[in-house]
Chain A
Amino acid sequence: MAARQLQSSFLTALKYIVLIALCLIVMGPVVTAILGSIRTNGEFLSAPFGLPQNGIQWANYIDILLNPTFWNFMKNSFTITVTVTALNVSLASLLAFVFTRIEFRGRGLLFNILSLGLLFPIVIAFLPIFIQVRQLGLLNNPFGVILPLVAGGLPGSVVILRGFFIQIPNELEDASYIDGCTTFDFFIHILLPLARPALTAVAVLQVIASWNEFFLPLLVLNDEKLWPLPLGMQQFQGQYSTDWSRIMAYVTLLIIPAVLFYLVAERYIVTGLTGGELKG
């Protein structure tokens, strides 16, 4: 018995050693980035893990925060993210509703066409999308980024929402009709409120995807005034290519909202990633 206990506590210790080692590898780069951002560039590059010797270098941050272009990038990111998310969630819930609740000829065909979007990575379509956006005169227009992002996200969102809508019992729908609801009433006043967790999950995934999108804005937006933060980050990195502590201040400023958002939305990220796509 004692030997067995010893073996099991040895095993536990081993598990922790593995986990902690991995944590160091995963978080090491992040922690050094943040530490680097509050030190001078020289300090940072000579000793990645050290603490500030010459006082905390708030200037790294203040310079960025006082720069109006930073806030302009932020505003653009915000506009793109909010618009993409709102459009995606509303269009996807309309579609998912029809695909689960209303039967008509050609429904399966429509759903299959939409599902095609899940079968290839959207990056492959970026050149054709670029040509289309250019033909429509949407180059250098935020909607040239927004609409393709909505289109690319729709199939996934519809599949997730459909998975949740299906679970809402038909009896509820019948009961609402007996009480005099129209189909539209049922959708707006009963189904959507019930599906709020799923809607939030879809919205959260769209926020992450559109906030982080880099490639499409790179193709579509030439005017720096329209750039979202990822493009701004690249430009900043190019400008200050050797001033790593300044670059890390910029990186940290972008990490903070991402982590805060994650903490708030964690539950929904997990449901969104798993709930709609897995049966179990």
Chain B
Amino acid sequence: MSSERRIRVVVAKPGLDSHDRGAKIVARAFRDAGMEVIYTGLRQTPEQIVETALQEDVNVIALSILSGAHLTLFPRIMDLLKQKGLDDVLVFAGGIIPKEDIPHLKKIGITEVFGPGTRTDTLVKFVLENVRKRK
């Protein structure tokens, strides 16, 4: 038998912005690193993102946001993850997020926040080092 644990990632765009070039490039980088990437498309509510993560049984959630609503949307996502028992999922974010907001986001459970210009291999390395392996 060829049992093999694959890393599954959901790449999600919460809220109301319509630019997903960055998210698609990140998704592509994870695909090329051998991961299975579930892409949600634009304008997702926190409920949709968490439900997708649950149904797809992912180990990682990558959030991309440019609208400035991260302080509203991210805490809601983290709350829902906790409620549904998905607290073992690695969550990180990227996009346009002011430096001064980062400590708060880390406090609510977002493991890392990446800004513009981050290399995709940095992201892949980050996921491989931080993902919690399935038993």
- Interaction A to B: no
B residues with CB within 8 A of A:
none
